[in-house]
Chain A
Amino acid sequence: MSDITVKINSQECKAQEGEYILNVARANGIFIPAICYLTRCSPTLACRICLVEADGKQVYACNAKVKNGMNIETVTENILKERRAIMEVYDVNHPLQCGVCDQSGSCELQNYTLELGVDSQTYSIADTVRESKNWSSVLHYDAGLCIVCERCVTVCKDMIGDSAIKTTARGGEALDKSYKDTMPKDAYAMWNKLQKSVIAPSNGTEQTNCSDCGECVAVCPVGALVSRDFVYTTNAWELNRIPATCAHCSSGCHIYYETKPTSISNREEKIYRVTNEWNYMSLCGAGRFGYDFENTNVSKDEKAFALAIEAFKKAQTIRFNATITNEEALMLQTLKEKLGVKLVNDEVRAFQKFLNAYSDASGKSLYGSDFKELMNSDFIISVGSILRKDNPNARYVFNNVQKMNKGAGLYFHPIGDTVIPTFGKSVETFNHKVGLEEAVCYLILDLFAPKDKLSDEVKDYIESFKDGDTNGLVELLGKDSAKFKASFDKMMGKKSSFGLMVGEDFFYHEKSENLAKLIALIEEVTPLNIAFIPPKSNALGVSLICELDDEATGYTIGYNENGDFKLSALGDGNLDIPALNQQEGTLTNMNKKVVPTNSALEYNGYELNDIMKALFDVPRLAIDWTAYLPVDKGFMSHEFDSLPNHYTNAGVELRGYSLVKFTREANEIKVDRFDEKAILEGDIVCRANPQRQFSDFTDKAHQINEAFGLYVSDAKSKSIGTSKAEISFGDERLILDVMVDDRMEGDIVALPDFQSKHNVYGLFGTSRYKIVTIKGV
C-alpha cells in the first residue's frame, strides 16, 4: 500500500495502490454513476454503468484498480451512449407506479434516469409475471420493481454472511437477436443477464432462513425490497432524519431514526424506520427493526419524583445495566462519590474486571486494536463469543475478512454453529468443551508466537502437550491434529495481518484473570491485533467511568433493573426515565469511540439529571456532563455539541472521538496453567440471547419477535422431546418453551438474558455456563 496519484478528468487525485477507481473518484468528489457496487463488498458487475475510460481503454470503475499516473476520463461520447442505453433498459417494463412506491424520491432508478436524460424508450420486450412476496416476518420483495442489481445478494454474502438470497431464473423471453447488433455492447450484455434473473431465497423455499437484519432492504436502490412494516406507510421525503447511535449492543452503529407525526389526529413524532449509511456500516436486525422502545405518555409526576429523591437519599445500592449513556454513568459515579452508594452492574462488572486484569498485565489501558482494523486483516480468530448471537458486527467482520481479503479464520466456541463454516473455505471451527478457554489461548500462542519470545516456562508447558506429530492441544480441543496442521499451513499462506476478537465467555469465567493475562501475552508476543467484544451496549463506557461493586446491599434503586425503588424507561417503574431514543448523550462503542446520539422522540418526564439537580449543584442538562467525562480514563473534555456524527463520501467515519489509550511499563506477564478438571460435563446451559434480542428494549419493539425460551439445537430438542422444558439450577427452577434454533449444533442449550425480570444473571453468577438438569415437561 503506497500513495500514488492518478488523474481523473484531468484532476489530480491522491490514491492508495490497489484502490478501485470508483472509490478514488468518490473520495475526491468526482461523480461516476454506479448502481450495483457496494463499498466493502466485492464488485458485482451487474449494472455496468460505472464504465470509464482509463488510459484510453474502457474499464468498469468498480473493479478496475488505479495505477500510478493513470489518466481516467469519466465521460466520453461512447460511454454516455452506453449509459443511456443501460438506463433505458432498466426502464423497460418497470412499473409506472412511482406514485405509490416507497422508494420514490430516493430511488436510484429515478435519479439516474433523470441524470442521464432518458426521455424516450427505444427497446421493448414482453414482460414476465413477477409477484410480490413476503420472505420473512420483516422482508417484503416486489419482484416487479426489482432491477436485479444484486446488491442485496452481494451484501448478504459479503457482509452479513447469511447468503440467504440468490439470483434465480426469471423465465422471461429471450432478447430479440437484432438488438445484439444495434445496441451498445455493454447495455446488451447487461440486459441479457437482467432478462434471465430475479432474486429469491437461496434455500429453494418461499421463505428466507436468515438473521432478519434487513440489510438487503437498506441497500435496495429501488422499492423492490422494503420492510413489511414500512410498506406504503409514508414517503421518504416526509421523514425527518435524526443521526443517532444504536443503543442495543456494543457495536454502537451509526443510525438515522426517521420520524414523522404518528397520524393526522396525533401529531406526536413517531419513528417509522431506521436507516443507515449502508456503504460504511451494516446494521443487525435489532438495530434496524428494534426502534420503538420509547417510554410513551410520560408527564412530570411530581409525587413520584419526590419519592425518588427520598429513595436516593436513603439508597445504599444502585443497580443498573449497560444500556445507559456515558453521562448517566458519570452521574451514577458522582452519586457513589458523594453519597457512598454501591454501584452494581451485572452486565459490565465481569468485563470491567477482565479489562482491569488485562491492563495490569499489559500496561495498556485499552485493547490495542478495533474492529475497523480487524476488518482489514486477512486472518481472523474469534474466541469466547457466539458470533451469531453476541455481536452482529463482530460476525460481519469475521465474514467480511473471509470474503474480501481472501482471508482465513479460526472460530473457537463450545456451541456449534452451522453458519460460521459457510463464511469461507478457510474457516476452521473448534467446538471445544466448556472450561478449555485457557487451552485455546495456549494453542493460539503455539500457533502464532515466535518461540524465542515466549518464556521458557510457557514454552515448556506448550511443548508438554506435543507428542511427535500430535499436538495434544488440538486434540484436547476436539480436532485431529494431523488434519488441522495440514489445513492450518494452507490457511497461513500469503497472510500478512492477523486479528483476534475476544468475547463474553472470557469475561464471565472462573479464571477470567488468567485469561486476561493470556490475552495480554498473546498481544505482546504474537502479531495478532486484539479487540474485545464488550458484552452489552455501553459496557466499555460504564467499565471506564464507574467503580462497580460486586454485591448489592440494603435499600436498592434499580435503574432499568429490579430494585426497591425502580426508575424505568420501560414504563414499569416507580419513576419514568427516558429511553435511549428519547435522550441525548454519548455511548462508548467497541471500536473505542465515544459517539453521540440524539433524541428522536419527545419526552416530557423527569430524567436522571433532574434528580441530580435536586440533590446537588450540577449542570443544567445531561449533555453538559459530556465535557466532564474522566480524562484519566481516556475520555476527552469535548462539549457534546462539538461532536460530529456522520460519514464522508470517502467513507471516513466522523463520529465523536476516539478514546485515548495510555501505556505504561509493564512487568513480564506471568500466566497460569490450565486445569483440565475445570471442564464442565453433563447438561450445560449457556447464557446467550437469540439473535436480534439484547435487552428489555429490543423485546419491547414490535418487530422483534424472538421469544424468551430455551434455545436448543434440532438434535437436542428431539432428545428433550417436549415443547416445554424445566431447567433447574439447584434450587431455582424455570419452566420455558423449547425453541429450536436450526443453526445451533450440539447439546449445550442457550438461556437468554434479555428479560431482566427473570434475573438470569443471578442464576449464572460469574460464569457464562452452568451445569443444570433439563427435563421435558
Chain B
Amino acid sequence: MSLEQFKDRNVGVQNYRQLDLPQSPTTAMCKVKQVAKRSLKGELFVGLGVTVREMVSTLFGKGLHTTQYPFEKLPISPRYRAIHEMLRLLESGNYRCIGCGLCEKICISNCISMETRYDENQRKEVSAYTINFGRCIFCGYCAEVCPELAIVHGGRYETASEQRASFSLFEDMLTPIDQLSLQQEYQGFGAVSPNADDNIKKTPLAY
C-alpha cells in the first residue's frame, strides 16, 4: 500500500472552485417569488430522480459503498496503532526480538514485562514476554524505540474480548511461522526513513 495519500498534507495547492451561486433574495417580495418559482419548477423531482438513479445503480450496478463489516474490512493506515505484532526475521524465521528491554523501559503505562535468560547458544533469549492490554494506551513508543523493528503496531483494532489476556502473549502477537511469507514490513513510527542511508557515516573496516 502506498503512503502517498497520507504523506500529502499540503491542502493549499489543491483545485478549489467557487460555486456559481445567485444572489440571495433581499426583499419580502423577492422571497415570495423565489418560493413560488421553486415550487412550480418541479425541482423536488430532480432530487427524487437522483435518489432513484443511485438506488438503481446501487442495486443493479456496482455502486454499493457499504462495507460489509465484520465480513469486510477497510484497509487501515500503517500508522494506526492497534494491537502489537511481534515480527520474525524473514530469512531464518527467528524472532527479531533480542530482549534489549527498551520497550519495557520506555513504556509509559508500565504494561510491558519480559523475562530473558542466557541460552544454550550463548545468546540472550526472551523466555517470556507480555503486554498488559488493560493498561496499554497504544502510544506507540515501544514500536518507535525498538531497534530491531521487532515489536510493531499491527492492524488488529478489534480489542473486544472476553479476556484482554487473549492478546497479551508473545505467541499471540508473533507472526505464525507458516505465514512468514505474508509478513509485512512495518511502515509506521520507528520505521527506517527512506533517506536513512544518507544520514549515516560509514565506519571504516579493515577487511
Contact = CB atoms under 8 A, between A and B. Distances in A.
Given A99-B147, A232-B99, A264-B114, A238 B104 contact: yes
B116 interface: yes
Interface in B80-129: 98-102, 104-105, 113-118, 122-125, 128-129
A126 B207 CA distance: 6
A122 B204 contact: yes
A580 B150 CA distance: 42
Contacts of A121: 203-204
A124 B204 contact: yes
Contacts, number: 60
Interface in B58-98: 98
B206 interface: yes
A232 B100 CA distance: 9
A580 to B, nearest CB: 28
Q: Choose among A100, A173, A237, A261 the residue with the greatest number of B CB atoms under 10 Å from its CB.
A: A100
B7 interface: no
Contacts of B128: 263-264
B101 A232 contact: no
B36 interface: no
A120 B199 CA distance: 12
B203 A100 contact: no
Nearest to A226: B118
A264 B130 contact: yes
Interface in A62-103: 98-100
A100 B130 contact: no
A143 to B, nearest CB: 12
A124 B205 contact: yes
Contact of A100 (B113, B124, B207): B124
Given A99-B147, A124-B204, A263-B128, A235 B101 contact: yes
B41 interface: no
B38 interface: no
Interface string A232-248: 11110110000000000
Contacts of B129: 264
A100 B128 CA distance: 15
A104 B100 contact: yes
A100 B126 CA distance: 10
A132 B124 CA distance: 14
**Majority DSSP secondary structure for residues of A touching B:** loop
A232 B98 contact: no
Nearest to B204: A124
B118 to A, nearest CB: 4
B100 A100 contact: yes
A231 B118 contact: yes
Interface string A421-445: 0000000000000000000000000
A76 B203 CA distance: 27
A99 B115 CA distance: 15
A616 interface: no
A238 B105 contact: yes
B204 A100 contact: no
Contact of B113 (A125, A173, A264): A264
Interface in A265-281: none
A123 interface: yes
A237 B105 contact: yes
Interface in A218-266: 228, 231-235, 237-238, 261, 263-264
Contact of A233 (B116, B122, B147): B116
B158 to A, nearest CB: 25
B135 to A, nearest CB: 14
B9 interface: no
A121 B200 CA distance: 12
B201 A232 contact: no
A263 B115 CA distance: 7
Given A124-B203, A264-B115, 10 more contacts: A99-B98, A104-B100, A120-B201, A132-B122, A173-B206, A231-B118, A232-B124, A238-B101, A238-B104, A263-B115
13 contacts: A99-B100, A99-B148, A119-B201, A121-B203, A173-B206, A232-B116, A232-B117, A235-B100, A235-B104, A235-B105, A238-B104, A261-B113, A264-B115
